């Protein structure tokens, strides 16, 4: 008779138990107690397993289950969830489900936008709910824009965009669509910018970072390889507007933000300095050295900004108090 170690037996029982749970959820026969336990994240499940089970509960009629699903998903840190999505072959419906609970998580939204499995329906849903950086990634997929022109219409009603951002993005999207219109069928099946970059070697990415287009730099500055990401800053085509946008990105490595701060010309541009200081991903020692450059209005906002580290809030508060004290003394002497 074949014998199995106790650990193998335990794992086999766990697999069988999970299969039973999946079947009950799929057939909508799971009791409320089990559905609540899953929605609250109380079962000993790997994160990917939990996400897939929460997806199966997406239409649960019980309000407490729905509320618990939201609470559980919101508790997962954005970077962790983005990494899970990158490592897992989620279906388009599962990605759509996750997108609707991740509107405040920029790392997750960027990952979903870049995922080739993401449906047009999901992108259309996001188009009037996300910021300019993520929308730039959407607009680089020319084939999708042709296939789903309503995406541009949704961007027109995005309340998060300034009039200038909205106009720039719409022009970008319309230009992409028009340029695609004049291409023949062979060109239509060409790989998109995102797919092309994904197939490049590190050396090829470095060359593209230096010589590529703005759209390609937007992708490469987020590359997990720090050498590739920082090489974008050395592109002779990189202007102040792009540097301002990069300084505001929360999904780039700290070396990129440090590189922006080391550029003397950019440090003479107030919007770039301001974006760096208020960016929670900027290294603390970099932000501390730039606080003195902010005006009083922005210092007052910064001291109450819970996104930045506490040491930055304290320093901004001290700097503001010191300035106000000096101004008060000066006005006193003038009297």
Tokens of 239: 């202007």
- For 111-134, the pLDDT digits (tens) are 898 887 899 999 999 999 998 888
- Spell out the residues 6+ positions from residue 157 whose beta carbon is closer than 8 angstroms to its own: 128
Q: What is the DSSP letter of 334?
A: H
pTM for this prediction: 0.60
Phi, psi angles (nearest 5°) of residue 334: -70, -25
Length reported for the chain: 335
Tokens of 174: 């319309």
SS3 of residue 120 by DSSP:
helix
Phi, psi angles (nearest 5°) of residue 244: -65, -40
| DSSP structure string for 162-225 | -HHHHHHHHHHHHHHHHHHHTS-HHHHTSPPHHHHHHT--HHHHHHHHHHS-HHHHHHHTT-SS
Q: Which of 118, 80, 286 is nearest to 194 (CA)?
A: 118
- For 219-262, the pLDDT digits (tens) are 899 888 999 999 999 999 999 989 998 998 888 899 999 999 99
- For 271-297, the pLDDT digits (tens) are 999 999 999 999 999 999 999 999 999
Taking phi first (over 0 means left), then psi (-120 to 50 degrees means alpha), and beta for anything else, what does residue 249 get? beta
Query: What confidence score (pLDDT) does residue 185 get?
Result: 44
- For 67-106, the pLDDT digits (tens) are 999 999 999 998 889 888 888 889 999 999 999 999 999 8
Q: Which of 184, 181, 177, 187 is nearest to 142 (CA)?
A: 177
**Does the pLDDT value for residue 188 go beyond 60?**
no
């Amino acid at each position: 008779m074949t014998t199995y170690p106790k650990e193998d037996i335990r794992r086999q029982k766990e697999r069988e138990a999970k299969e039973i749970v999946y079947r009950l959820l799929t057939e909508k026969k799971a009791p409320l107690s089990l559905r609540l336990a899953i929605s609250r994240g109380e079962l000993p499940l790997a994160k990917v397993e939990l996400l897939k089970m929460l997806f199966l509960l997406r239409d649960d009629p019980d309000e407490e289950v729905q509320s618990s699903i939201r609470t559980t998903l919101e508790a997962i840190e954005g970077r962790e969830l983005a990494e899970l999505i990158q490592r897992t072959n989620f279906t388009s419906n599962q990605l759509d489900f996750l997108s609707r609970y991740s509107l405040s998580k920029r790392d997750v939204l960027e990952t979903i936008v870049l995922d080739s499995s993401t449906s047009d329906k999901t992108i259309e849903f996001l188009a009037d709910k996300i910021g300019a950086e993520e929308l730039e990634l959407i607009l680089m997929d020319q084939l999708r824009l042709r296939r789903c022109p309503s995406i541009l219409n949704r961007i027109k009603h995005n309340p998060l965009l300034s009039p200038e951002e909205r106009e720039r993005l719409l022009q970008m999207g319309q230009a992409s669509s028009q340029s695609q219109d004049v291409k023949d069928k062979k060109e239509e099946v060409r790989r998109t910018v995102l797919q092309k970059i994904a197939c490049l070697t590190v050396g090829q990415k470095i060359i593209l970072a230096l010589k590529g287009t703005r759209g390609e730099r937007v992708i490469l500055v987020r590359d997990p390889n720090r050498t590739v990401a920082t090489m974008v800053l050395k592109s002779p085509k990189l202007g102040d507007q792009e540097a301002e946008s990069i300084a505001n990105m929360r999904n780039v490595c700290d070396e990129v933000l440090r590189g922006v701060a080391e550029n003397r010309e950019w440090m003479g541009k107030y919007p770039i300095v301001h974006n760096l200081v208020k960016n929670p991903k900027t290294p603390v020692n970099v932000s501390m050295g730039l606080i003195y450059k902010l005006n009083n209005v922005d210092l007052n906002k910064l001291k109450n900004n819970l996104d930045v580290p506490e040491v930055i809030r304290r320093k901004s508060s001290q700097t503001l108090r010191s300035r106000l004290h000096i101004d008060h003394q000066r006005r006193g002497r003038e009297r």
